[in-house]
Amino acid sequence: MNDDRSAFAPIDLHSLSIEMVDSDVDCPIVLCDDFPGFPVKHFCMAPRYESYVDHVLIPNGMVKDRIEKMALNIVTSFGNDKARSVTLLCVLKGGFRFLADLIHGLESTIRARGTSLPMSMDFARIKSYVNDKSAHEPIFTGLENPEQYRNKDILVVEDIIDTGKTMRSLLKYLESLSPRSVKVAR
């Protein structure tokens, strides 16, 4: 795979023509290229990692707080849409850890609000590279029962959206299954 980050064009999230659940899409947290990071001495870190880390770019607490805020936005969004339940579709492998943290945030938010939003999970694997070369069309696996998505509210959980090509392909496929709604957690 090409390590030159300049080869990746930034994605205009609005160009995906889908509803992003997170209401803060217009004001993302941005780290400038020249941001030096935070000194390691300000964080708890296992001694075995200290010699490998010069600075911390995004503190763990910031990530956790951001996921908690996303969970609140998701519960509010699906509540406003009168969703009866939500299918969380996790894009493996990277999305799994994000999904686990997000579910914890969703459950905490639902419990704190005293509301109900039944959730089910499903998993998909998407290959957009074959032998370190970009595939013409992404290859989907794990979506063997397309009927289960008909008239359902789906929340796609993905950890990274690079150029948006793979996400567009997945969303196009999901829309062909006639869901009630498809949203992306990001």
For 106-131, write each residue's pLDDT tens digit: 999 999 999 999 999 999 887 766 66
Which secondary-structure segment (H or E) carries 179?
Answer: none
Instruction: Domain 13-24+63-185: give its CATH code.
Output: 3.40.50.2020
Confidence of residue 79 (pLDDT cuts 50, 70, 90): confident
Enumerate residues 6+ apart whose C-beta is below 8 A from 35: 57
In the chain, domain spans: 13-24+63-185
Residue 18: which pLDDT band, with cuts at 50, 70 and 90?
very low
Q: Average of pLDDT values for 154-166?
A: 80
Cite the beta strand spans of the chain per DSSP E: 19-20, 38-39, 55-56, 86-92, 119-130, 133-141, 153-157, 181-185
Radius of gyration of the chain (CA): 18
- CA distances from residue 21 to 10, 52, 78, 127, 130 in whole angstroms, order as listed: 20, 36, 9, 24, 31
This prediction's pTM? 0.74
Categorize the per-residue pLDDT at 168 as very low, low, confident or very high, splitting at 50, 70 and 90: confident
pLDDT attached to residue 93:
78
pLDDT at 129: 66
> Could you give the C-alpha distances from 65 to 5, 6, 147, in angstroms and in order?
27, 29, 36
Amino acid at 110: I
Summarised one tens digit per residue, pLDDT across range 27-38 is 667 778 888 999
150: CB partners within 8 A, 6+ apart = 177, 178, 179
As annotated, the active-site residues are: 162
Residue 101 has a pLDDT of 94
Averaged pLDDT of the chain = 81
Mean pLDDT value of segment 5-34: 53
Name the DSSP letter for residue 114: T
Helix axes 95-113, 60-80, angle to 10 degrees: 60
CA distance 136 to 120: 31
